[in-house]
Chains A and B, each alone.
Chain A
């Protein structure tokens, strides 16, 4: 019985039929009947301004308008890790696109028409759209009241500045480390903002009924966190958690953008003023670009020293984050990267400054990778260059310095078991690293780029998961959990875990999208942690069910519990070979005994998982101590890049990526994350190019001009490699992989480009245009 039956198998997704038949309902697909109203939001056209006057008199008289709301109707602050945001702008606006007025009408057309009649007068203030400029002493303060904002105890805002948080790592003796180095390399890398571009835009529908119950349907990664934030923000109306219900239907992609709370709070608040009605707000694609979380921008200054033998002696990494106008979530990106910006390396002398800076641009927030893609671009580029200066092969340099189990992380905790070295070897072998390839076409050059990566879930130390499990008469199971399947296959994997314990096949296990009234608490589906965390909760629930089953069998049949096992949906006994009691005979109805009485009853089980070893009580000045990250997932990647030397156009001929999943609970779905994540990563470096004008307005908020890859942009070959070094506290050894697969893309391209053509590009994106013009400039200099 050592071979698993369901776990570790590429089981077909249990939500596949629903999505492929068209049965799957997304939030905008639900019909709400005649009491449905539609909200249209008027957004700020200024990056930083006082709102002098809002004139809604003409708009209020427009046909089918029900009511128009402004900031004074909802003077509440909200936010996940810090409370610095408003439902509708208060006396000032801080980015182009910020929500100012909500027009509610009986049809979307009427709302849109009336919105055109609203007049807003702004008094512009100096706007700052560059994070380094925002640090200057004479820069305008975006949040003069920063000192009063409530925040989690492990954030350190600097009152009287635009610095919302500053995470510092000081470990060992960096000065000494640099003095010991035979070579020091210092340089700056720039990564701009990016958009998630989930195909489904943000949408939420809210109803505040006559009994005082607020129900919100939203396309969300975090129904319970949303419930919490709504209850907090609207508490002055007398609402507590029991009065708030969040229902999360299918989600058309999240990538972090649908975590926390952004626009969903608007219809929730509007509903409280429109009792009895249901109010829908759906973002257009333009609003999706301009007024949801964006991936933070980064200017990173890296100084790294190494000895002739290739050992890294010290690192000084300064990360200046463009975090946008509100940083209630984005500040945690700054925090998480601050703790990990040494990369997956063993370094004794560390200085890291990760600084969260307010700018008059859209709010930065969670995006797949949570800051790690951004800093790994610079770091993995830097590592390559350092290795070259020392005349050491870049892969060999990584072998020398790659972090091992038991080494210390940047904050002094022990590195978990991991297959980083194995990943490096397998990728190097797959890509034939030592073999140089030349193009047969004189117009083309070919290069290879390598990168390694790591990431830990960035979460509060008490982020938890829970699961309810109940049997039905046919021995099918309903698994009630509140994680979200945002595409990664979470529902299927949770079913596989329950299946493995209970011997009921995944196809007989129903996992539905959650309702906070019915499904027990899950912190959020973010951080690539639900496979681990909720997987543990589900396994515990399944074990609870199994224990109830065995205990009942023991009571009735007197077999010792340790002689019992489950197989093919029946209870069997090691010591009595002919005993086989089908689950469906008793899991609801109990077992009839000799005297005609019944024992047992419905098997309902529960499981909870919360890490009890994680803490944020490190030293604020050094971050030493505490255990802020539960564990790291590691991996390596390489690709072969062909570049047209005249046009700069690039083609990925082959990419190999290895990730240590601990245990791939569903190998097909892990491979799906590698294929999908790698393409999303390649898109950020090759195609996606967000542009702002000097007044902070996004210039390309459409798919026409913000290019995400099509079917014609895929690499010629992608080789996914699954490594399995078990995570000791993970379900069957599993840990998360969802975000990580994006991480190596950008530095692989930059490194391959240098390998092929000797040019080093230190800013993203690396478009064909940038490459061609760099090559032209280089040839002109000769």
Chain B
């Protein structure tokens, strides 16, 4: 399919030039990283920028690295980079699991995590993970830097706190000190990798006074969000059947799924409860040192 819209293409090799272009073009410019969303949007005539600013060769932008006690995911980090990052599977299992469910290898080799959170489509896989880790988004513009907590990043479907003259240089979060594990559960329509019709990221931490939990849902609300009520219910407690039953009931207050061509409100609501229960049990087993494969925990 041809793209009929004509635009200028820039490929700055340094940050100063990139930011200068962004300041010049603002809303009329589109940042290009992996392009797996961008090019589709161009073909569908959803965007028609005057300038496309390819940031893949801006030398100051990074991929994924550990910086002290923080994990830094730079603008150039593809989902394949995350999967191949040596520490990821051991230390950031939740992040690794979410990356694994994104599309397929041919997309993951190009699609960037930063691109994913900038697209802000309601079914993002990266967002719930970053919410659980309380990540911070780091933006840059000619005017300076901003650090935005991930909770304040997603404003509405396809809308973030990013300003027109800004780019995201990366996202980072502190590696939890205590023993912890995580699990990403995703509802798709078949065994192949699908867009999430519902997704749940769980982080389970072993604190001195018991367990702490963080839950974030995706694709069941206009923006992905933490489930504060469920977190409060379970905080400090050990899991048992009654507690899980109560937690599942609370799901109804935490999410607002819709019916669309991909799934129905009722099924999404029901599955989120199942995901919560099964995800929690996987985390509990993992914290006890058991190796549990979670790819098909919803069956099929």
Interface residue? B289 (CB, 8 A): no
- B299–A643 CB distance below 8 A: yes
Interface residue? A408 (CB, 8 A): no
Interface residue? B46 (CB, 8 A): no
Interface residue? A70 (CB, 8 A): no
What residues of chain B lie closer than 8 Å to A109, measured between beta carbons?
2-4
Q: Which of B1, B3, B192, B263 contacts A769 (CB 8 A)?
A: B263
Closest to A441 in B: B299
CA distance A553 to B171 in the complex (A): 84
Stretch at the interface among B143-151, B204-212, B218-226, B265-273: B265-273
Q: Which of B192, B267, B274 contacts A713 (CB 8 A)?
A: B192
Q: Which of A443, A643, A707, A769 contacts B264 (CB 8 A)?
A: A769
Interface residue? A546 (CB, 8 A): no
Q: When each residue 245-274 of chain B gets 1 if its CB lies under 8 Å from chain A and 0 otherwise, what string results? A: 000000000000000011110110011001
Interface residue? B300 (CB, 8 A): yes
Q: A112-B2, A646-B274 are in contact. Are A687 and B263 (CB under 8 A)?
A: no
Q: Nearest 4 CB-CB pairs, A to B?
A: A644-B299, A710-B192, A649-B300, A649-B299
| Further pairs besides A707-B190, A772-B267: 4, Cβ < 8 Å | A107-B2, A647-B299, A651-B300, A769-B264
What residues of chain B lie closer than 8 Å to A2, measured between beta carbons?
none
- A647–B271 CB distance below 8 A: yes
Closest to B40 in A: A704
State the Cβ distance, B81 to closest chain A Cβ, in Å: 23
Closest to A109 in B: B2
Number of A-B contacts (CB under 8 A): 78
- A650–B263 CB distance below 8 A: no
- Chain B residues with CB under 8 Å of chain A are 1-4, 187, 189-195, 261-264, 266-267, 270-271, 274, 298-300
CA distance A107 to B3 in the complex (A): 12
Interface residue? A699 (CB, 8 A): yes
Closest to A644 in B: B299
Q: When each residue 99-116 of chain A gets 1 if its CB lies under 8 Å from chain B and 0 otherwise, what string results? A: 000000001110011001
- A767–B299 CB distance below 8 A: no
What residues of chain A lie closer than 8 Å to B189, measured between beta carbons?
687, 707, 767-768
- B261–A768 CB distance below 8 A: no
- B261–A691 CB distance below 8 A: yes
- A713–B191 CB distance below 8 A: yes
List 17 A-B residue pairs with CB atoms under 8 Å apart, sorted by A's residue number.
A109-B4, A643-B299, A647-B271, A647-B298, A648-B299, A649-B299, A651-B299, A699-B261, A705-B262, A709-B190, A710-B192, A712-B190, A712-B191, A712-B192, A772-B267, A773-B266, A776-B270
Q: When each residue 710-752 of chain A gets 1 if its CB lies under 8 Å from chain B and 0 otherwise, what string results? A: 1111000000000000000000000000000000000000000
- B2–A108 CB distance below 8 A: yes
What residues of chain B lie closer than 8 Å to A686, measured between beta carbons?
190
- B195–A704 CB distance below 8 A: yes
Question: How many residues of chain A have a CB within 8 Å of chain B?
Answer: 37
Q: When each residue 428-471 of chain A gets 1 if its CB lies under 8 Å from chain B and 0 otherwise, what string results? A: 00000000000000011000000000000000000000000000
Q: A707-B189, A713-B191 are in contact. Are A650 and B300 (CB under 8 A)?
A: yes
What residues of chain A lie closer than 8 Å to B195, measured between beta carbons?
704
Q: A700-B261, A769-B263 are in contact. Are A687 and B300 (CB under 8 A)?
A: no
CA distance A538 to B174 in the complex (A): 73
CA distance A704 to B43 in the complex (A): 15
State the Cβ distance, B241 to closest chain A Cβ, in Å: 14
Q: When each residue 660-690 of chain A gets 1 if its CB lies under 8 Å from chain B and 0 otherwise, what string results? A: 0000000000000000000000000011000
- A711–B261 CB distance below 8 A: no
State the Cβ distance, A25 to closest chain B Cβ, in Å: 21
Q: A649-B300, A773-B264 are in contact. Are A687 and B270 (CB under 8 A)?
A: no
CA distance A768 to B187 in the complex (A): 11
What residues of chain B lie closer than 8 Å to A687, measured between beta carbons?
189-190
Interface residue? A284 (CB, 8 A): yes
- A647–B4 CB distance below 8 A: no
Q: A646-B274, A647-B271, A699-B261 are in contact. Are A444 and B192 (CB under 8 A)?
A: no
What residues of chain A lie closer than 8 Å to B2, measured between beta carbons?
107-109, 112
What residues of chain B lie closer than 8 Å to A643, measured between beta carbons?
299
What residues of chain B lie closer than 8 Å to A444, measured between beta carbons?
299
What residues of chain B lie closer than 8 Å to A712, measured between beta carbons?
190-193
What residues of chain A lie closer than 8 Å to B1, measured between beta carbons?
112, 284
What residues of chain B lie closer than 8 Å to A642, measured between beta carbons?
299
- A773–B267 CB distance below 8 A: yes
| Most A Cβ at <10 Å: residue of B261, B263, B266, B299 | B299
CA distance A486 to B267 in the complex (A): 39
CA distance A109 to B270 in the complex (A): 46
- B298–A769 CB distance below 8 A: no
| Most A Cβ at <10 Å: residue of B191, B274, B298 | B191
Closest to A687 in B: B190
Q: When each residue 289-314 of chain A gets 1 if its CB lies under 8 Å from chain B and 0 otherwise, what string results? A: 00000000000000000000000000
- A705–B261 CB distance below 8 A: yes
What residues of chain A lie closer than 8 Å to B299, measured between beta carbons?
443-444, 642-644, 646-651, 768
Q: Which of A443, A713, A776 contacts B190 (CB 8 A)?
A: A713
CA distance A109 to B6 in the complex (A): 11
What residues of chain B lie closer than 8 Å to A776, measured between beta carbons?
266, 270
- B192–A709 CB distance below 8 A: yes
What residues of chain A lie closer than 8 Å to B193, measured between beta carbons?
710, 712
CA distance A615 to B48 in the complex (A): 60
CA distance A699 to B259 in the complex (A): 14
Q: When each residue 563-593 of chain A gets 1 if its CB lies under 8 Å from chain B and 0 otherwise, what string results? A: 0000000000000000000000000000000
CA distance A687 to B189 in the complex (A): 7
| Most A Cβ at <10 Å: residue of B189, B193, B266 | B189
What residues of chain B lie closer than 8 Å to A768, measured between beta carbons?
189, 299-300
CA distance A94 to B86 in the complex (A): 58
State the Cβ distance, B249 to closest chain A Cβ, in Å: 15
| Most A Cβ at <10 Å: residue of B4, B194, B274 | B4
| Most B Cβ at <10 Å: residue of A649, A686, A707, A773 | A649
State the Cβ distance, B165 to closest chain A Cβ, in Å: 30
- B267–A769 CB distance below 8 A: yes
